[in-house]
Amino acid sequence: MRPLTRWVRQGDPAPSRLAYRMERLMLTPLFRVALRLGVPLVAVVAAGAVYFSDAARREAIVGAVANLRHAIESRPEFRVDLMAIDGASAGVAADIREILQVDFPTTSFDLDLDAMRAQVLELSPVEAVALRIRPGGILQVDVTERVPAVVWRHRDGLDLLDAGGALVHPVDSRAARADLPLVAGEGADAAVAEALALVAAARPLHDRFRGLIRVGERRWDVVLDRGQRILLPPTGARRALERVIAMDQAEDLFARDVAAVDMRLPARPTIRLNAGAVEELRRIRALQWGEE
């Protein structure tokens, strides 16, 4: 008979539960990556926190970084010594220098070109502007000014407007820009494009043309010398004006004692006579009736 001691186990070869779980974790790729990278990272962060906990060390590092930045920014290739402005009139160039307030010499790192561009665009005569740093330390400002197209007379004075109706700058008198057509009335600035089209259509009346008046912010009156007017409709104004010009060329209309030609109803043009012409017409008719 075999002894029972041969069947007694000297030790359990199976791993403990904790060891088993650790072996399973070590077989997980994500855990191995976290262990390989995370532990050094935590150690570095802890060491950095301990190092930077000292105020003197922090100040020394901040000072070293500031000195390094100053050394880089002070290099000749980053230095800006002057400003060049092209495309602007003398007055606009002076305004640009005044609003930018750049203290030369400076460095390109201290110039916010986008903010400077926005400042220049606030000037009403400036339509577009581009800023860049040229070789040689030059701040280049390329300006496109608005081109005056009309003189606008309103309750507050006279302004020059471009073809889009944007303000260029005020003027003291009509004579200052007698070469430009005159528009007047509230809302005329919002319809400059239509006004210019009417000015072009009125070219046959150029010698007698005096300007355009915006009426009710919806239509135009053409003003000629001797106080004569052409009342245009809100829509189809250019076509109506061309009809009146054709009538004038055929019948010499505005050479007569006519006060206005009303085209507000294009199907029924109306001619208004001056008071003297009306009285003369009545006298002629009275004479005709008397003869009859």
For every residue of 195-254, which 3-state class applies, written as one string? Answer: HHHHHHHCHHHCCCEEEEEEECCCEEEEEEHHHCEEECCCCCHHHHHHHHHHHHHHHCHH
Task: Take residue 167 and report the two structure tokens written for it.
Answer: 């303000």
Under 8 Å between Cβ of 241 and 230 = yes
Of 89, 124, 145, the domain-final residue: 145
Specify whether 140 is located in the same domain as 187: no
pTM for the predicted model, two decimal places: 0.69
Of the residues 100, 128, 145, which one is the last residue of a structural domain? 145
Is 259 inside a domain boundary?
yes
281 shares a domain with 213:
yes
Please report the pLDDT score of residue 9 as a whole number: 46
Are 134 and 190 in a shared domain?
no
Q: Is 25 domain-assigned?
A: no
Task: Name the residue range of residue 122's domain.
Answer: 76-145
Q: Is residue 24 part of a domain?
A: no
pLDDT per position as a tens digit, 132-181: 999 888 999 999 999 999 999 999 999 999 999 999 999 999 999 999 99
**Residues 241 and 194 placed together within one structural domain of the fold:** yes
What is the CA angle 108-58-64, rounded to 5? 40
Low-confidence ranges of the chain (pLDDT < 70): 1-15, 20, 25, 64, 67-77, 275-292
Q: What does DSSP assign to residue 146?
A: P
Structure confidence at residue 72 (pLDDT): 62
Within-domain flag for 128: yes
How confident is the prediction for the chain on average, in pLDDT?
85
Domain boundary among 99, 128, 145: 145
Tokens coding 228:
């004569």
pLDDT for the residue 83? 95
> What are residue 27's phi and psi, to 5 degrees?
-80, -10
pLDDT for residue 70? 64
198 and 261 fall within a common domain: yes
Cβ(259)–Cβ(274) below 8 Å: yes
Long-range contacts of 68-76 (CB under 8 A, 24+ apart): 73/107, 73/109, 73/110, 74/107, 76/137
Q: Is residue 272 included in any domain, yes or no? A: yes
Is 32 inside any structural domain? Answer: no
| Structural domain includes residue 166 | no
The bridge status of strand 229-231 relative to strand 219-224 is antiparallel
CATH at residue 86? 3.10.20.310
- Specify the number of domains making up the chain: 2
Which residues sit opposite 272 in a β-bridge?
Answer: 260
Q: Would 14 be classed as within a structural domain?
A: no
Phi first, then psi: what are they for 179, rounded to 5°?
A: -75, -10
| Confidence at residue 183, expressed as pLDDT on a 0 to 100 scale | 98
Other beta carbons less than 10 A from residue 237's beta carbon: 23
Cα of first residue to Cα of last residue in the chain, in angstroms, is 172
